[in-house]
Amino acid sequence: MAEKRQLTRRGRQRRDKLLAYATTRFAENGYHPTSVSDIVDGVGVGKGVFYWYFDSKDQLLEEILRDALRDLRTTQAAAIADATDPLQRLEAGIRASIRWSAANTDIIRLVNFGWSEESFADVLRRGRDIVVTDTAHLIEQAVDLGQIMEGDPVMMASAIRAVIDQLGQEYALGNGDVDPEMVETAVRMCLRGLRG
Amino acid sequence: MAEKRQLTRRGRQRRDKLLAYATTRFAENGYHPTSVSDIVDGVGVGKGVFYWYFDSKDQLLEEILRDALRDLRTTQAAAIADATDPLQRLEAGIRASIRWSAANTDIIRLVNFGWSEESFADVLRRGRDIVVTDTAHLIEQAVDLGQIMEGDPVMMASAIRAVIDQLGQEYALGNGDVDPEMVETAVRMCLRGLRG
Amino acid sequence: MAEKRQLTRRGRQRRDKLLAYATTRFAENGYHPTSVSDIVDGVGVGKGVFYWYFDSKDQLLEEILRDALRDLRTTQAAAIADATDPLQRLEAGIRASIRWSAANTDIIRLVNFGWSEESFADVLRRGRDIVVTDTAHLIEQAVDLGQIMEGDPVMMASAIRAVIDQLGQEYALGNGDVDPEMVETAVRMCLRGLRG
Amino acid sequence: MAEKRQLTRRGRQRRDKLLAYATTRFAENGYHPTSVSDIVDGVGVGKGVFYWYFDSKDQLLEEILRDALRDLRTTQAAAIADATDPLQRLEAGIRASIRWSAANTDIIRLVNFGWSEESFADVLRRGRDIVVTDTAHLIEQAVDLGQIMEGDPVMMASAIRAVIDQLGQEYALGNGDVDPEMVETAVRMCLRGLRG
DNA sequence: AATGAATGAGACTTCATTCAT
DNA sequence: TATGAATGAAGTCTCATTCAT
């Protein structure tokens, strides 16, 4: 219901505010320790507002996760559009992902949490499979061209994603900036490792 | 209180049983969704027993995490004891870690969860710093010998750990076995990436 | 406020639509489980409209009940107008009541519910006392004429009403029709029982 | 769960106390207006106690209704056991039912309410069918013996039950006593009406 | 030692009602 | 007039923890 409600501009703003505040609090405090009351108090609205815009607390987190993974994928797609060489596309994707990761450390934390409960893990599996599959395709192409060594492309893609998330989150400088050395380290770890 | 109690042999068995069952349930179901009642019902004891052996549910998880990280460190130390060459010690450590990871997927899930709440993250930070520092030391030695390229050793160690956890968990075959190809992929991704 | 508002023709139609829809839903679903939102959504108007026409959800039910009892009394009065003999008037009243009961099973259900909460029971007491008193008067007259045996007329009237409501509701055939055999059974149960 | 818990004597007493208090409050105040808090506060226990003994507020009412109908049936069965003549058994049953009705006005109110919501009506249908069927059997036998006039026995049984409930509730004198004149009126209304 | 009944704060959620637009 | 966003009190229910037995 709340899902399909037609929102006015002000409505959409409120919803976004709740979404943003909840994301921050969930990441800071943990999902369960953060109550719906905390959220609405923080935004300064009544408790009913929350349920006007969202079906439930669970559904809110699912939406945060789904949106985030969709956003990541869009970002990656845009980043690799310019290059044509698979290896260059791979590198561009990695760089974009790290930046995204550093700019969304809250989300990374939430994703980490999400894997710990089956209902959220379902959402994540769907979303992550897409992202990993995209990368795996590039790897396959690079393998076909002899650019990188053979091996299970999905496994490699998975490892790459792990490095990106970990470093992106751990070495974010705040306000979305990234330590450039970290980006180079990540790229190097991934690509030199892949090269034949 | 419960921490220092002197336990009989039967007492220690009970405690271990609770610990093991809780680990499994937390990993399957999530920490918060698993109630203390679930745990004691599953083990077939009364609720008082739980609070006889543990101060609180939180403290139980902290103990699980602490024990696990200590166990991992011990395992790694044993694995690298035989070799003397830093790079060989690194490789041995990676292989041992992956096996450990695959044999303890439950724990990896719990660790993932633990990072999402500050009180548990504290415990993890302490434990993981040790593990990562161990690896970083090896990397430094290898760098000094010119075996691998220069760079922030802690950052590299962090990336390695990410790959290990991810692949170890994702490609565990059940009952602690590991896909050998996966181990090779992980080692290769880590080491070739590091080599000059 | 809403009580005395002067309504346009369209206004009255809307109000009646709300009244009718609410009656049906309350009867089907129960009063409390049916929310004001259910009602306005079902009629296809905004929530403000509801509070334009009714002071509250409670007041709406009170009005439904009051209207219904008034309608029943009017129906009965019309039905017994033709006859002059008390016993014949009684019988005519019973027949009319049963038909009304069968045509208003929704209302009977709501009346049943109404007795379970004091504020509605107040309304019902007032309305039902009138109906029962009317019947009791007829009984008194019949007793005076020796047509039926002596006894507390109010009590007898009360029993008659119980039979009518029960059979009327239970053996309604839908769309207001009544099983003729049921009417005869009811009349017989009431009158033969009364006769000296 | 709560359903099957093995209760100590003290446990059963507590449960019964809650059951009794809830019945009274539901009857006085209405089911929905009476909150679980009202009940536990009234009995002077914590809120968790309620959910230790009952699965939900709904389930509690269902149990009240089921127990009551079972009790009524038992009472009726005991009352008619002595007589052998169908008509005498019928009369004995009516007298017993009225006494029961007068002694359980709270229940009658709750039953009335129960019919207004489908989930409770289900329970009632099952319970009442049994009671009505018992009576209908006696009627059939009496018809076979030519003691009362022909007609749908279930319908007649239904009408009898309506009279009993109505008069029993309305003319209860408190503390379970009954106006004897009322009992006679009820018996007379029912039996003289049935006689051929 | 052990049990499991009891506690009560607090979680999520609903909904009658109000009011800005 | 009409809408539907907003309010917030109140409802049902859970669960970590305590404690009498």
Residues D68 and D22 in one domain: no
pLDDT (tens digit per residue) in D22-32: 999 999 999 99
Q: Is there a contact between B172 and B105 (Cβ–Cβ < 8 Å)? A: yes
Query: Tell me, what CATH number does A187's domain have?
Result: 1.10.357.10
Together in a domain, D76 and D169 = yes
Does residue D78 sit in the same domain as residue D99? yes
Helix (H) or strand (E) holding C65: helix C57-80
What is the reported pLDDT for B70? Answer: 94
pLDDT of C63 over the 60 cut? yes
Say if residue B1's pLDDT is above 50: no
Q: What is the pLDDT of residues C178-188, one digit of tens each?
A: 899 999 999 98
Instruction: Please judge whether D190 and C193 are an interchain contact, meaning their C-beta atoms are less than 8 angstroms apart.
Output: yes
User: A30: Cβ–Cβ under 8 A, 6 or more apart, which residues?
Assistant: A113, B116, B117, B118
Q: Is the pLDDT of residue B196 over 60?
A: no
CA of B103 to C1' of F21 (A): 44
Residues A101 and A179 in one domain: yes
B3, pLDDT greater than 60 = no
pLDDT of residue C175: 80
- Contacts for B91-96: CB closer than 8 Å, 24+ residues apart: B91/B187, B91/B191, B93/B134, B93/B135, B93/B138, B94/B160, B94/B164, B94/B186, B94/B187, B94/B190, B94/B191, B95/B183, B95/B187
Does residue B64 sit in the same domain as residue B17?
A: no
Give, for A52, the enclosing helix (H) or strand (E): helix A47-53
Where residue C46 sits, what CATH number does that domain have?
A: 1.10.10.60
CA-CA distance, A112 to A118, in Å (whole number)? 12
Nearest to A170 by CA among B155, B163, B160, B186: B155
* pLDDT over threshold 80, residue B176: no
CB D22 within 8 A of CB D60: yes
What pLDDT is attached to residue A196?
Answer: 45
Predicted local distance difference test score (pLDDT) of residue A7: 81
Q: What is the mean pLDDT of residues A113-127?
A: 94
Q: What is the pLDDT of residue B173?
A: 86
Which nucleotides along chain E are within 7 A of a protein C-beta?
Answer: 1-20
Residues of D with CB under 8 A from a CB of C: 27-33, 109-110, 112-113, 115-118, 149, 151-152, 155-156, 158-159, 161-163, 165-167, 170-171, 181-182, 185-186, 188-195
What is the overall mean pLDDT for chain C? 91
Is residue A39 domain-shared with residue A95, that is, in the same domain? no
Put simply, the answer to whether D152 touches C186 (Cβ < 8 Å) is no
Distance measured from the CA of protein residue D123 to the C1' of nucleotide F21, in angstroms: 38
Average confidence (pLDDT) over D81-107: 94
Number of domains making up chain A: 2
Q: Please indicate, yes or no, whether residues D64 and D50 belong to a single structural domain of this protein.
A: no
Between CA A96 and CA A90 the distance in angstroms is 10
Among the partner-chain residues A152, A159, A171, the one whose CB lies closest to the CB of B163 is A159
Residue A195 has pLDDT above 70, yes or no: no
Give the tens place of pLDDT for each residue, A27-40: 999 999 999 999 99
pLDDT tens per residue, range C85-134: 999 999 999 999 999 999 999 999 999 999 999 999 999 999 888 889 99
Separation in Å: F18 C1' and B48 CA: 9
What residues make up the domain containing B129?
A: 58-194
Res B68 pLDDT > 80: yes
User: Are residues A136 and A61 located together in one domain of the fold?
Assistant: yes
Angle subtended at Cα D63 by Cα D57 and Cα D65, rounded to the nearest 5 degrees: 110
Q: How far is D94 from chain C (nearest CA, A)?
A: 14
Nucleotide with minimal C1' distance from the CA of B53 is: E1
| A52 CA from F7 C1′ (Å) | 11
Instruction: Please state the rounded mean pLDDT for residues D112-129.
Output: 93
Summarised one tens digit per residue, pLDDT across range B82-137 is 999 999 999 999 999 999 999 999 999 999 999 999 999 999 999 888 889 999 99
CB-CB: which of B31, B162, B190 is closest to A116?
A: B31
For range B35-53, the mean pLDDT:
95
Q: Which residues of B touch A110 (CB under 8 A)?
A: 116
Give every CB contact of residue A125 below 8 A, 6+ residues apart in sequence: none
Do residues D106 and D34 lie in contact, with contact meaning Cβ atoms separated by under 8 Å? Answer: no
Co-location of A182 and A89 in the same domain: yes
Among the candidates C55, C85, C101, a domain finishes at C55
C107 and C51 within one domain? no
D150 and D70, same structural domain? Answer: yes
User: Which among D167, D181, D191 has the least Cβ separation from residue C159?
Assistant: D167
* Cα–Cα nearest to C32, from C120, C134, C127, C144: C120
Instruction: Kindly state whether residues B49 and B119 are assigned to the same domain.
Output: no
Residue C160: exposed, middle, or buried by beta-carbon count in 10 A (0-12, 13-18, 19+)? buried
Dihedrals phi, psi of D33, to nearest 5 degrees? -65, -20
